[in-house]
Structure 1
């Protein structure tokens, strides 16, 4: 038996029907051929699957070898070689048909089934079933023109489908009484074939056969090759429990591996149309009639892995356009969980969420195709919808809630198999996390003299009605120390990248006062965990900020920098600097709050509170060598104030450094 490429191969006939179609659907011919050729980038259009290269089968310098990745065929205009992925592997690897199938099946993650001696018989049976389905399509189309279908025609007209559109989509009608079973048996079609095609079934009550589709508008479902494989039927009775009903699983129809409008959408996507994934038949028809011809829909189920692979064969970034109700959002979230493990470079999803209460058909009818186009243009990447799912409607006002968010997002990102994509998702999540929590820190507007600024910039304001020149000078001295500590923290995290992620939460809460420090802080949070943290920072900010930071004297003499590479010294240094900075700023905030409360008449309590806070900042401003402060000797041998030692121990405990652990001397 000769195949469609002129090859005679008995092995082909021994494989189960549909296996080779599934294998071709899962594979990208461009990827298979790309291992053997170098694409001509000037002539190729990879976005459309239109690829050109010098032919691997004969010596040439010009790119006359053409691959149509969407249709899965190649052809050389020089030597006239042609075929599909199986043919290409056979010719280039010098293997037989079954060996080529095994090679490709391994790449596609499929298991080659045992040879079936009845495979050809089954293939012939499938051909017969396709013919039965085509007869059913024509029968239902004729029934739509009868008097019994008047209500169905009125419904389609109300939905905006003209007679021409109904003909284009081959829409039909299954009458309430009689039907395709009687029609086909009257033409001599075996009843078993009608059952196998999913058009009729045996009654559980023993009353014989009955038509599966009754009193329904019928939408034919065709595979990528245009063969009728099933039906979707919409009930005319508004109270029917099953508004839409699909063909059952048959030798032709596997609803988890099929898409409505697959063939026409693939062709339109190949011409540059964006691939849109809608929820149902009418949405696909409405979108296509409005000009969005590369539109498909799953068949009565949530989108499956196999359907995603089919979509990615048509376009690298399908747009999921689901209804704007709760069910539509839940469906979008389910798609994310299915898609994450399957992501590859250049292969993802975007989401266009309809306005609440509207589906694509409603939107086009009420606001026009332009409104739909605008939604598609604004479709968001999958990572943003993942973030929205984990954060929308939730508050993160405690470390425990933040930790729960981190855990949930980490678990999802772990599902991504590709390490590069996993890394980029992690960075995108860090960016959004930084934005969320940094925005949350802005204080509410308070009634005060002068213009309001965010709370973290309060040190810039001159709002103290009782501030003396001495207290201002002390505050200035403390601020200088804050700047030094910030610099040491940032430099240590950059030079000790293995330790830095342990202090992510502390870094996130750091209110950097220096613009350069803020840039480095944000950059660090984006790239914590990167393979080369220093290179990532230089790539974002250039070399100047890093050189300026590391050139400062107080940074160079820090034990963590002098003894670079010692993770424990770096860990202790970071814990100590964060502890001292947090303590000092907590005291400074006491002054800030007290001053803000002095908008009325000061009482003795407020005056005492302000004096005590000023004394604390006074001590902080004198530096660590002042003997008048209360000190404790830390386990690392450094002098620390008792409140700083407490903060230091708490921070070490948070990062899992037990109190009894041996701590090296700095």
Structure 2
């Protein structure tokens, strides 16, 4: 409905904001100046003891200096009464003595028709309630007693009964003078296919009236008494009053309870809502036999910023939760989200509250998971990520879901949360695997022997080189974090030899997407003010092209790729040297020297780079190209191995 020009201005002129707000707050007499319309009170939108909520009665606006809530009389009524814009206007117009503008004739006729249908529905409510108290309703009363529904609860939710008769309600409404078409249009009867008298929609069912937010009965839900009935629950058909995708069971009472601070709980059915309400969780609603729709989500968010979806603790409940997540992701806004409370296996909220009481339900609600956690669980639970391909598949699935989020800020926070959980999963280092085949008992070589000395010297040289490579990689990532995503997996797998390097690597992986300046602040906060500065002062780091020209992403990308490749090659040679040193005390054969030559050649292939000065190379016995000083070190080690062989 559109309002004529000037209507809202007139309404605001006639409305005293301080009077409207004064119904919800206690003014601070020391800070307030009523004569000037300058009023102060503790904010009604968040818990506080100081008076930070300011009302300027002359301008007609309020503002909270604590939570930053602001608006006029209409927005205040909307937020405190949990009503939509037009309903807030109606409330204020009635208080101001203003007549709401008339609708156009077509809209007025439609509204009149809806009012007439609502009157017919009320007649049906009274009929069903009366039938529950008759002899025909004995079995229904026994069922409700078995579900421990007190008579006061039945009265509160207006539960009734439709006897198993073809025209019971039809005849009752006709006796009240209701037109045939009105009964049909209300969805209370269906035309006969054989040309006879229409028959009742609901027969042999316990009846639950479904009311809209304004309290009008717009539909019914019926639970079959016959366990063999094809439909255990049956809702009214779609009518001029009823659209199940835009309706929530118990909407009005739940909205009122939310306004008083109750958490909004979304259950699956009528009995869950009734049980929760009787247990003290009065802000409970349910969709009507279908998955939650986009419109229903928006209705929920108008009542509460973070509704709790309470689902059965089984596979079907999890599937329902996942459908809600997929629906909600594109609709997320700042401060608007969902949490998910999964009931124990095989139980729904009705079962749990009747078996263990409200405390058990509260415990489940307290453990409700945020959407991002359930999204992560869906993609990871029961799966093994023991290969790069499986990890890449996980990244792809999560990235596709996060891209559904339209709000860039929320999308960024989801990405960071997923990154943190991913880091937690993949940073658990697997224990080293034992070498295949039989192992001989190994006694460490005497460090005084020439062979041991040679191997230790070579290993020490490799360790120092590895640490230098790590430093260049981390400095490049810190100065140009835009390239980190491309090398994220390699950085995660990098076993840092230096604990300081490991801490720096973790901070970079967690915060690289915040930009170079913010990343530097994170490094300073988490490691120390001089951590990055000390790293950049290292001579071999300061000479790296990516450090000298940090703004050039292509140079940073090339440096990262080359240094990571060199690091892998160095680690391979170091591992072979370590095993060769172990084998020195045993019978050494040609396989030891072959492995060393191959590892050295792999390392030197990685070291060949356009960014390095070319050096002269010698050929090893197997044809591998080695730098001269490296070949000399390797030859010394091989000679010691040969000299240690038995019989020499």
Task: Give the TM-score normalised by structure 2.
Answer: 0.77
- Where do 1:212-611 residues align within 5 Å? 212-439=201-428, 441-443=430-432, 465-466=444-445, 468-532=452-516, 533-535=518-520, 537-538=522-523, 541=526, 543-590=529-576
Name the SS for the 1:407 alignment partner: helix
Partner in structure 2 of residue 150 of structure 1: 138
In structure 2, stretches of 5+ residues that fail to align are: 10-37, 65-70, 94-99, 437-441, 618-623, 627-648
Whether the 8 Å contact between 2:125 and 2:160 is mirrored in structure 1 is yes
Shift of 1:205: 3.6
Shift of 1:483: 1.8
> Distance in 2 between the 1:230 and 1:631 partners?
74
Partner in structure 1 of residue 28 of structure 2: none
Partner in structure 1 of residue 96 of structure 2: none
Partner in structure 1 of residue 44 of structure 2: 44
- CA gap 1:243/1:639 in 2 versus in 1, 3 angstroms: farther
Partner in structure 2 of residue 651 of structure 1: none
> Distance in 2 between the 1:633 and 1:444 partners?
31
Name the SS for the 1:484 alignment partner: helix
Partner in structure 2 of residue 634 of structure 1: 609
Q: Which moved more, 1:232-241 or 1:610-619?
A: 610-619
Whether the 8 Å contact between 2:310 and 2:349 is mirrored in structure 1 is yes
Name the SS for the 2:466 alignment partner: helix
Shift of 1:464: 7.0
Shift of 1:380: 0.9
Deviations 1:472-530 (A, max 9, x none): 44333322222221121111012112322211121121112323222222222222333
Pair 1:130-2:130 in alignment: no
> Distance in 1 between the 2:435 and 2:340 partners?
40
> Distance in 2 between the 1:581 and 1:39 partners?
68
Whether the 8 Å contact between 1:308 and 1:339 is mirrored in structure 2 is yes
- CA gap 1:39/1:572 in 2 versus in 1, 3 angstroms: farther
Whether the 8 Å contact between 1:47 and 1:315 is mirrored in structure 2 is no
In structure 1, stretches of 5+ residues that fail to align are: 10-37, 76-81, 90-95, 99-114, 448-462, 645-666
> Distance in 2 between the 1:47 and 1:303 partners?
31
Name the SS for the 2:297 alignment partner: helix
Larger Rg: 2
Shift of 1:371: 1.7
Shift of 1:279: 0.7
Whether the 8 Å contact between 1:632 and 1:639 is mirrored in structure 2 is no
> Distance in 1 between the 2:61 and 2:347 partners?
56
> Distance in 2 between the 1:355 and 1:199 partners?
38
2:129 to 141, 144, 162: 141
> Distance in 2 between the 1:359 and 1:575 partners?
54
> Distance in 2 between the 1:195 and 1:561 partners?
79
Partner in structure 1 of residue 148 of structure 2: 160
Deviations 1:309-347 (A, max 9, x none): 111111111111111111111110000011001111111
Task: Give the TM-score normalised by structure 1.
Answer: 0.75
